[in-house]
Structure 1
Amino acid sequence: MTAADIARLAGVGRAAVSNWRRRHDDFPLPVGGTATSPTFSLGQIEGWLRDQGKLADPPMRERVWQTLRQVAAGDVELSEVMSFAGAFLLALHADPGLRRDLSGGPDDRAGAALADAVRAHTDRLPASFDVAAHIPLARALAGLADEFGTADAFDFLRTRYLEHHSRRVYMTPEPVVRLMLDFCTEQPGTVLDPACGTGAFLTVAQDVYPNVQALLGQEIDETTARMTAVQLALRGAPAEVCPGDSLRDDAFPGCAADLVVTNPPFNDRNWGYEELTGDPRWEYGLPPRMESELAWLQHGLAHAAPGGLVVVLIPPAVANRRSGRRIRAELLRRGALRAVIGLPAGAVPNMAVAVSVWVLRRPAPGDQPADDVLMADTSGEPDAYHRVAVDAWRRYLDGEPQRGAATVVRIIDLLDDEVDLNPARHLPQRSAPAAGGGFTRERERLESAAAELPRAVTALSLLKPSRGGDEPAMTTIGELAKAGVLQILRVSPRIRMDEGTVPVLTLDDAARGGGPTGSAAPDEDHVRIRARDIIVSQIARHPIARVAAEDGPVLGPGLTAVRVDPSRTDPDFVAGWLRLGARGANLRSSTSSARFDVRRARLPRLPFDEQAAYGEAFRRLDDLETALRTAREAGEHVLALGLEGLGAGTLRPHA
């Protein structure tokens, strides 16, 4: 079990487990894993926690997960055990009478009956797996199913497995899934996702289209495909999910789906260019080696029924790369491309850029090619992009005028040397109509910020001139860390940015005082920021030391968190002195890459009440900085919108 598993077992935070390992010599030693992500023996950990009086009564779900982890000796075995769990729950779902076989009689008799039942109900279990040897796990799974139902029981286990293998699978956020499904305005009979992953599109499609006849999916990772198939089967979905590479080894040749919807792999250089040069799916042109996304678009069109829709998540570079210009032009000329919808940054957290949704339609015999395309940019509507995009699409289908962030562009106007399909390029009118309302909002924001400035300045009356006196004894952050007064938390060396869904506070976020804009794959070694943590920049040119107001995201590269016990040490006091040290490092640095050593930052040794007084003073200075920054930003926006509005005629002077 991992440190995160220990924390769940004991009902504590991840940091508490780190403290136990550091402070207790008798804490069990790791039995596997790596130096940065060790694993421990479940039996040894339970014994230690029991001796220490720290063993909480874990919920049923945690007990079953730990039992499953104990059965699996490694990742390969865990994959097989997960397959058994899915197969068993499928058999139990189909035949609740299995519980009787498990509850009565010896294990060998129950094992024989269980093996026959599981094999009879599913072929998704590896042939080498010894079903009869895992009666205790089967009984635990049956108890979990009794409490939560078979579908929710497996969904919990699958979620834990995916967390354990977070770098393998990236999940499309449900709001984006629902948006993409909403482009299909008629009930489809067949829905296909050729890169289905964990089955997000197929699962939601079952809810959105209750009369769907077939949900088809293909996933390159065999274990993920198997788990997705089990999950859909347990929910009664008319689904078929196959393992394999859709481009190289299509599991559904000849399939004509009413809706093809997918979030395919991006920037895949090994998509099969050499092997698939003469493939008949490339009806609109051979995809360039570096344009795997254009291969997925044409794969979707090849599997769409005449008149069927293809809705694909696409990175923005595909809209204007020169290498893909001919295929983009052909998609336009033949009327296959119907809409490009730009999403806000962060809509898909594991992407460093704002992605787009491309909506295509396979032309039906006798159709007149479309002569225009919908272009919409919802980047300015981060909280309402779904409504804006669907409204624009339905207006387009109904022939109604567009408004706001959408426009209809004639195909002939797109067929130039670039064939640039970036929506923002085709919306020059977007900012002008909105300038009047935007100007009013920003002016009100500026007025509010300006009103806050005098209060922030008045609050500085707390600071009075001093005649000096005895200098207090000084110490360093490193010495306090050695004494256990505080913790210095570094960024996990395993963090890989823009590859997952966990929000990450970046150095730029900390510098501007904003929320997280980065993302990473979840990992138990990541440092999660807690309320009252002090966030410090390691880069000398960015002298930042700020107290976190609430529990928040993962700590990003270039940052350090200093964690104190607020009952013993005032965080604002420590943050103030850290900021002084960071400013000094900035002044001394001669290169842009100079580092600030947090451990060497100096601060005075003071009683808690004096720390609190200093902390209040530092906090008031920080409030002044925030007020100044807010006023400056609002002022810049008002200036830009005012000039733009007067120039466009959306603002006029009135006497």
Structure 2
Amino acid sequence: MEIIEGCPLMGVPVPNDATVTAADIARLAAVGRAAVSNWRRRHDDFPQPVGGTAVSPTFSLAEVEDWLRGQGKLTDSPVQERVWQTLRAAAYGDVELADVLTFAGAFLLYLRADPGHWRELASAPDEKIAGTLAGAVGAHTDLVPDVQPADPVPLVRAVCQLVDELGVAEAFEFLRTRYLEHHSRRVYLTPEPVVRLMLELGGPARTVLDPACGTGAYLGMANEVFKNVEQLLGQEIDDTTARMSAIQLALRGAPAEIHAGDSLLADAFPGRTVDLVATNPPFNDRGWGYEELTGDPRWEYGLPPRMESELAWLQHGLAHVRPGGTVVLLMPPAVANRRSGRRVRAELLRRGTLRAVIGLPPGAVPNMAVALTVWVLRRPSPGDSPPDDVLMVDTSADPDNFQKVAANAWHRYLKGKPDGTDASVVVRIIDLLDDEVDLTPARYLPQRSAPASEGSFIAAQELLLTKTAELRDTVAGLSALTLTQARDDTPMTTIGELAKAGVLQILRPSARGSGEGTVPVLTLEDIAQGSEPTGTTAPDDDHVRVTTGDIVVSLAARYPVARVMPEGGPVLGPGLALVRVEPSRADPDFVAGWLLLGAQGARLRSSTSSARFDVRRARLPRLTPDEQAELGRAFRRLTDLEAALRETHALGADVLRLGLEGLGAGALRPSD
């Protein structure tokens, strides 16, 4: 970690009037957001909200720090949180948070290049610092944003304090990561184990290109793992992300050249070749440029079909590697067997360009509803004899060691030795060139079953014990509900009337079919079972995307569900409706509770399995905001109980299954 000593603050502390959300509090205490909700309910001395909305309240950071410290729960650095809030406060008017972060990164490049100049400048009055800083920073980097904070002095002093704690490069990495987590939906982070595996499959290399570099994960890792790296090239379609990646790589001393732009439509490196192209390209991109690029010379293996953008990225990578160079891409599994792409796949096989297809385990890349694959390709050199086989690897049976499984199979394949396990197989190219040209690894591997181990049983048992303890606490929280005299004179309204009044919106999913894709879709079964999204679809502007605080309602009377969504992201699937409440006018938990009552009533009234619940006709009382909030908290306690019971049941089923399998296989035995 590189620390710049003597990065003075001149006695000016970072402001401590910042506010934080429940998610920020969870990060400070290293717990889940549910734990923060529990603290708010169970501890009378927990800090009260100072702003925000009923769905997303904000709290005083100073008060939260004091409370967490008194409870012994403070694990993260309050300095980091205060600095982040200082950056957020600097974004106003025409200055966006991305501009503030980019300016902070440019300042860090200046600080890294000339710390002595800053030591001298920091002792000057704020007016002189403000007048001198832009020129000093611009002298060391061309990454200064066009729009800059009006008063940069508090910002750079705050950043300096973060540098004293983390170092220059890590300070920017912290700020950039926080920005990407909460303020950018356009960047998907590839996990480090997957990046490291892909570089191992393609290395060693002195020159590397990532044509869809995003946050620069592949280029940054290449700078670490490859010796004597000479050049790292990257292109990213989003200008802000490209600038941030360029700053981060420069702060780590990487010989990187990053450009903003669309690699397929506006290649920043025409005619330049490298040893290795490694990337996680966009999937299922309908607008990749099929019409504009029909006659492009990069399509050496055939014109990529309109719906096969992945095959365009693959050939773009091959066009940028030298003869004998390697291309390693992360791909969705459908690329291996779509009928539209079989001609290109066949040509890759005939020329000996495709060398391996490696299936990753489910969950290796989070937020993907399918298990992805890694394709390894090599650009043939003149005079090479085309290979006659391809390596197929399936790592799904050992998700904890998928890197090792894949790398061992690859290195033994290169040495001409069989892997010796049932995780890989070498398939003759002639056997792949049939009508389907299916390159799915699992198709060519024997079926496997992994017996449960004693360790997995013990781990599941411990999880069940933890969950049952939490369940007791959840049940105990219901003691706050007391019997009272029922009222029948409360005026009532309906969801439809509230929609007409603008208190809420009722949204339905698009009538068009989902098709193939990687955008997660929340299905009727998902919402009924309380599970993560299991459906997928291709990107479409007509989709209804779920956001935090939305109420998702089942339209099927046999599934009475109305759930306030803690997080957004997926799109709404068939059989569901979405009620989006204006938090300043109604409490979402209150509305969700009455929607659930209406849905249960529809189930009792239905005479067929196809009966529908009419969301607009659901009734609810007219109450004051305080009365709604109070009743909403009560509804939330009951839905928390439902979720806890469901999770406990699932964990109990796992313990039962693993116990039976362990006893049957002899991996478990009774102890005296």
- Determine if the TM-score, normalized by the shorter chain, exceeds 0.5: yes
Alignment match, 2:469 = none
Matches of 2:310 and 2:383 in 1, distance apart? 28
Alignment match, 1:230 = 247
Matches of 2:403 and 2:308 in 1, distance apart? 27
Please state how far the C-alpha of 1:118 moved relative to its aligned partner: 0.4
Please state how far the C-alpha of 1:406 moved relative to its aligned partner: 1.4
Alignment match, 1:151 = 169
When residues 581 and 124 of structure 1 are mapped into structure 2, their CA distance, relative to the original with a 3 A threshold, is: closer
Matches of 1:288 and 1:221 in 2, distance apart? 25
Alignment match, 1:612 = none
Given that 2:236 and 2:262 are in contact with CA atoms closer than 8 Å, whether structure 1 keeps it comes out as yes
When residues 627 and 307 of structure 1 are mapped into structure 2, their CA distance, relative to the original with a 3 A threshold, is: closer
Alignment match, 1:485 = none
Alignment match, 2:626 = none
Matches of 1:149 and 1:394 in 2, distance apart? 38
Alignment match, 2:127 = 108
Given that 1:341 and 1:357 are in contact with CA atoms closer than 8 Å, whether structure 2 keeps it comes out as yes
Matched, 1:191 2:215: no
Please state how far the C-alpha of 1:393 moved relative to its aligned partner: 1.2
Percent identity for Structure 1 against Structure 2: 57
Summarize deviations over 1:152-201 as a string: whole Å, max 9, x none.
111111112112323111111112111211212x4211111110000111
Matched, 1:319 2:336: yes
Alignment match, 2:407 = 390
Matched, 1:176 2:194: yes
Bigger mean CA deviation after superposition, 210-219 or 292-301: 210-219
Alignment match, 2:179 = 161
CA RMSD of aligned residues (A): 5.8
Alignment match, 1:125 = 144
Matched, 1:420 2:462: no
Alignment match, 1:68 = 87
Matches of 1:124 and 1:315 in 2, distance apart? 34
Please state how far the C-alpha of 1:283 moved relative to its aligned partner: 0.8
Letter in structure 1 aligned against 2:285: D
Matched, 1:300 2:291: no
Matches of 1:635 and 1:9 in 2, distance apart? 38
Question: Mind listing any 5+ residue stretches in structure 2 that lack a counterpart?
Answer: 1-16, 465-482, 491-503, 538-544, 579-594, 621-641, 666-672
1:183 alignment partner, SS class: helix
Matches of 1:123 and 1:495 in 2, distance apart? 45
Given that 1:539 and 1:596 are in contact with CA atoms closer than 8 Å, whether structure 2 keeps it comes out as no
1:261 alignment partner, SS class: strand
Matches of 1:59 and 1:415 in 2, distance apart? 60
Given that 2:336 and 2:438 are in contact with CA atoms closer than 8 Å, whether structure 1 keeps it comes out as yes
2:344 alignment partner, SS class: helix
Matches of 1:627 and 1:235 in 2, distance apart? 44
Matches of 1:71 and 1:495 in 2, distance apart? 38
Please state how far the C-alpha of 1:85 moved relative to its aligned partner: 0.6
Alignment match, 1:142 = 160
1:360 alignment partner, SS class: strand
Summarize deviations over 1:575-612 as a string: whole Å, max 9, x none.
xxx99999997565434575699x999xxxxxxxxxxx
Which of the numbers 76, 86, 91 marks the counterpart of 2:110?
A: 91
Matches of 1:632 and 1:292 in 2, distance apart? 45
When residues 588 and 357 of structure 1 are mapped into structure 2, their CA distance, relative to the original with a 3 A threshold, is: farther
Matches of 1:98 and 1:89 in 2, distance apart? 13
When residues 224 and 524 of structure 1 are mapped into structure 2, their CA distance, relative to the original with a 3 A threshold, is: farther
Matches of 1:138 and 1:99 in 2, distance apart? 10
Alignment match, 1:347 = 364
Bigger mean CA deviation after superposition, 347-356 or 328-337: 347-356
Letter in structure 2 aligned against 1:103: A
2:253 alignment partner, SS class: coil
1:121 alignment partner, SS class: coil
Please state how far the C-alpha of 1:108 moved relative to its aligned partner: 2.8
When residues 363 and 545 of structure 1 are mapped into structure 2, their CA distance, relative to the original with a 3 A threshold, is: same
Given that 2:507 and 2:577 are in contact with CA atoms closer than 8 Å, whether structure 1 keeps it comes out as no
Please state how far the C-alpha of 1:382 moved relative to its aligned partner: 2.3
Matches of 2:245 and 2:127 in 1, distance apart? 31
When residues 199 and 397 of structure 1 are mapped into structure 2, their CA distance, relative to the original with a 3 A threshold, is: same
Given that 2:359 and 2:373 are in contact with CA atoms closer than 8 Å, whether structure 1 keeps it comes out as yes
Matches of 2:56 and 2:645 in 1, distance apart? 40
When residues 580 and 115 of structure 1 are mapped into structure 2, their CA distance, relative to the original with a 3 A threshold, is: closer
When residues 338 and 268 of structure 1 are mapped into structure 2, their CA distance, relative to the original with a 3 A threshold, is: same
Aligned residues: 549
Q: TM-score scaled to structure 2, two decimals?
A: 0.66
Matches of 2:436 and 2:92 in 1, distance apart? 55
Letter in structure 1 aligned against 2:268: A
Letter in structure 2 aligned against 1:64: V
Matches of 1:283 and 1:326 in 2, distance apart? 12
Question: Mind listing any 5+ residue stretches in structure 1 that lack a counterpart?
Answer: 453-470, 479-489, 529-534, 547-551, 561-577, 602-617, 643-655
